[in-house]
């Protein structure tokens, strides 16, 4: 006798957890399958968690959610060879009772979320890899097969929250392989350090935190970004570039990370910290145009597996949680109305997404991935020219200011030509407006 | 400034539950690797699981694999990498992630 549930959720990341919790809380029978040793064992995030989406699912999450620091300062740095130019925004107004952004250690959050799901009545089984979806004769998904003995389980609907690789959707022919220009590879380390040193180096008190988003020479001309985040007793540092660029280059990702750690601007911030874990993960970067088919007869796909990542704003886990919640709400609505989980009915999931910030934001930036991919000067020529200009401008010597201005203008035109500069400006504005 | 990176030292910090003699990734054809001009897997893999060998092909040792999927993505034209997740409970087990 094959066991049957209202819904099976594959994966215990933010999207799967949001879906499983929402379903369990409404009293549906839900089975969540996770291939890791425990929830979070296979998951990687920078990470910054945005409160709004989690708050919609668990309004009082702040009572016991193991967040790290609430972010009071955002820095955006463009790194040259031995320098940086950047902007910081810091405000005491971010010190509220209900902060909007937190740094997190991913495994802690996933464990916490899973306990909530179990408390709500969801059944969670770890150490179980789903090997394929089971279809009936008409092609409708009716369950999953796992790598456990007798591992066939049925459900009215299957929600795939299995992450960026999305092997199950590929095996069922619902998705194509990821194009190398649509996906980044990021590597990161967690560095443990005396919290007092974090407070001194970043000017913080209590649980205040700083995040630094980094672009520039550290990605060696490749399309990519880096980051340095403050946790309670650790720092996370990471760097990622498009796989299409790594493929053509000769620099291994861990070498790029090591060079970042030794950059003269970064090194003093992490000095004396002890590395406790090295992680790597792919990030979906293709945006709106890379979003696959999101639903079909008896199935939906959520989170990274659905390519829901807003690279321009470095938002991913909030899109994941939103999509997981919306998939679950669609299931609840159909179940309540006694309607079947046909493709036609599950189209309501896509309609919810289209009506939300998830698809609206992805659509707004739909041309940005292509433009970044085809215009490497944003990652190579500009960091050098900008930092050199700043260096010239802030060096007080006997050269008059008008001459300095001319020198700086000349350096920009030399790198990109006047038309090139104007073209770049137009491209950027078109891509983000 | 040239910094030598020892990837083994990074991976040493990680927790792995190794599924002895059941690698979850396989190279399908050695001949295909030999004819591959870039052998980009030997550069791109964040755990350096792939290395060039004296025979001009590529040696794969999956013990340090971080299960990211990059090798499968870069080798998709040749389809020479058979990529699967490890069995449930095995492979990388992130403490922090």
Query: What ipTM describes this predicted complex?
Result: 0.97
Per-residue confidence (pLDDT) for residue A295, from 0 to 100: 98
Q: Is A164 on the interface with B (CB under 8 A)?
A: yes
Q: Which of residues 246-305 of A touch B (CB under 8 A)?
A: 246-255, 258-259, 262, 275-282
Contact B68 A259 (CB under 8 A): no
Strand partners, A132: A145
Set out the domains of chain A in order of their start, with CATH numbers: 4-66+106-176+292-364 (3.50.50.60), 370-432 (no CATH)
Q: How far apart are CA A84 and CA A207, in angstroms?
A: 27
Q: Categorize the per-residue pLDDT at A84 as very low, low, confident or very high, splitting at 50, 70 and 90.
A: very high
Closest-CA residue of A relative to B2 is A259
Element (H, E) at A306: none
Contact A44 B76 (CB under 8 A): no
Q: How far apart are CA A420 and CA A10, in angstroms?
A: 48
Mean pLDDT of A23-51: 97
A105, A250, A254 ranked by CB distance to B96: nearest: A105
Fold topology of B7-92: Alpha-Beta Plaits (3.30.70)
Mutant choice from A34, A183, A279, A307 vs B, greatest count of B C-beta within 10 A: A279
Mean pLDDT of B38-48: 97
Contact between A106 and A47 under an 8 Å Cβ cutoff? The reply is yes
Residue B86: DSSP 8-state: P
Is pLDDT of A426 > 90? no
Contact between A197 and A215 under an 8 Å Cβ cutoff? The reply is no
Give the sign of the dihedral formed by CA A159, CA B84, CA A177, CA A170: negative
The residues on B that touch A, with CB distances below 8 Å, are 1, 3, 5, 7, 10-11, 13-14, 17, 38, 40, 43-48, 66-70, 72-74, 76, 84-89, 91-97
Provide, as residue numbers in chain B, all residues whose Cβ is less than 8 Å from the Cβ of A46.
Answer: none
B40, B67, B93 ranked by CB distance to A247: nearest: B40
Contact B17 A37 (CB under 8 A): yes
The domains of chain B are located at 7-92
Per-residue confidence (pLDDT) for residue A427, from 0 to 100: 81
In a 10 Å sphere around its CB, with 0-12 CB exposed, 13-18 middle and 19+ buried, how is residue A86 labelled? middle
Nearest Cα to Cα of residue A14 among A346, A331, A315: A315
pLDDT tens digits, A256-300? 999 999 999 999 999 999 999 999 999 999 999 999 999 999 999
Q: Number of C-alpha atoms within 13 angstroms, CB side, residue A197? A: 14
Rounded to a whole number of angstroms, the distance from the CA of B71 to the nearest CA of chain A is 10
Per-residue confidence (pLDDT) for residue B1, from 0 to 100: 52
Q: Is A119 on the interface with B (CB under 8 A)?
A: no
Per-residue confidence (pLDDT) for residue A340, from 0 to 100: 98
Q: How many residues does chain A have?
A: 433
Cα distances from B58 to residues A69, A247, A384, B27, B70, in angstroms, run 44, 16, 37, 9, 16
Contact A36 B66 (CB under 8 A): no
Mean pLDDT of A345-356: 98
């Amino acid at each position: 006798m094959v066991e049957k549930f209202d819904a099976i959720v594959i994966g215990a990341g933010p999207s799967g957890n949001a879906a499983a919790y929402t379903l369990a809380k409404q009293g549906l029978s839900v089975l969540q399958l996770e291939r890791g040793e425990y929830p979070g064992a296979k998951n990687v995030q920078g990470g910054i968690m945005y409160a709004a989406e989690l708050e919609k699912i668990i309004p009082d999450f702040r009572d016991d959610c193991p967040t790290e620091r609430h972010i009071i300062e955002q820095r955006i740095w463009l790194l040259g060879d031995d320098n940086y130019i950047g902007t910081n925004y810091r405000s005491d107004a971010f010190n509220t009772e209900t902060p909007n952004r937190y740094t997190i250690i991913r495994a802690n959050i996933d464990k916490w979320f899973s306990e909530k799901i179990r408390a709500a009545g969801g059944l969670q089984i770890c150490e179980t890899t789903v090997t394929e979806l089971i279809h009936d004769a008409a092609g409708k998904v009716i369950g999953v097969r796992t790598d456990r003995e007798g591992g066939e389980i049925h459900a009215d609907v299957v929600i795939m929250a299995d992450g960026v690789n999305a092997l199950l959707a590929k095996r069922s022919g619902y998705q194509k392989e990821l194009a190398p220009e649509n996906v980044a590879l990021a590597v990161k380390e967690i560095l443990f350090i005396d919290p007092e040193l974090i407070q001194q180096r970043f000017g913080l008190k209590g649980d205040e935190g700083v995040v630094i988003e980094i672009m520039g020479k550290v990605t060696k001309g490749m399309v990519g970004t880096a980051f340095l985040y403050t946790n309670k007793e650790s720092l996370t540092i990471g760097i990622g570039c498009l796989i299409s660029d790594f493929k053509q280059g000769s620099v291994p990702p861990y070498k790029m990370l090591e060079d970042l750690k030794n950059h003269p601007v970064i090194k003093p911030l992490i000095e004396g910290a002890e590395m406790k874990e090295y992680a790597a993960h792919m990030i979906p970067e293709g945006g709106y145009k890379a979003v696959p088919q999101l639903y079909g007869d008896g199935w939906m796909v959520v989170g990274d597996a659905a390519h829901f990542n807003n690279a321009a704003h470095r938002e991913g886990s909030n899109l994941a949680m939103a999509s997981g919640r919306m998939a679950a709400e669609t299931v609840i609505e159909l179940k309540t109305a006694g309607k079947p989980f046909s493709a036609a009915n599950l189209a309501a999931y896509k309609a919810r997404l289209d009506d939300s910030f998830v698809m609206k934001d992805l659509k707004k930036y739909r041309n940005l991935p292509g433009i970044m991919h085809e215009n490497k000067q944003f990652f190579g020529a500009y960091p050098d020219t900008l930092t050199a200009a700043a260096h010239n401008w802030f060096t007080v010597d006997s050269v008059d200011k008008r001459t300095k201005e001319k020198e700086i203008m000349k350096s920009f035109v030399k790198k990109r030509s006047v038309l090139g500069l104007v073209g770049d400006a137009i491209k950027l504005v078109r891509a983000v407006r | 400034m040239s910094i030598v990176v020892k990837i083994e030292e990074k991976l040493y910090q990680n927790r792995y539950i190794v599924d002895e003699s059941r690698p979850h990734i396989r190279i399908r054809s050695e001949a295909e690797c030999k004819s591959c001009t870039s052998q980009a897997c030997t550069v791109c893999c964040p755990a350096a699981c792939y290395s060039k060998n004296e025979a001009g092909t590529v040696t794969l040792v999956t013990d340090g694999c971080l299960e990211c999927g990059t090798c499968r993505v870069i080798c998709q034209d040749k389809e020479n990498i058979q990529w699967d997740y490890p069995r449930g409970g095995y492979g990388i087990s992130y403490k922090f992630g």
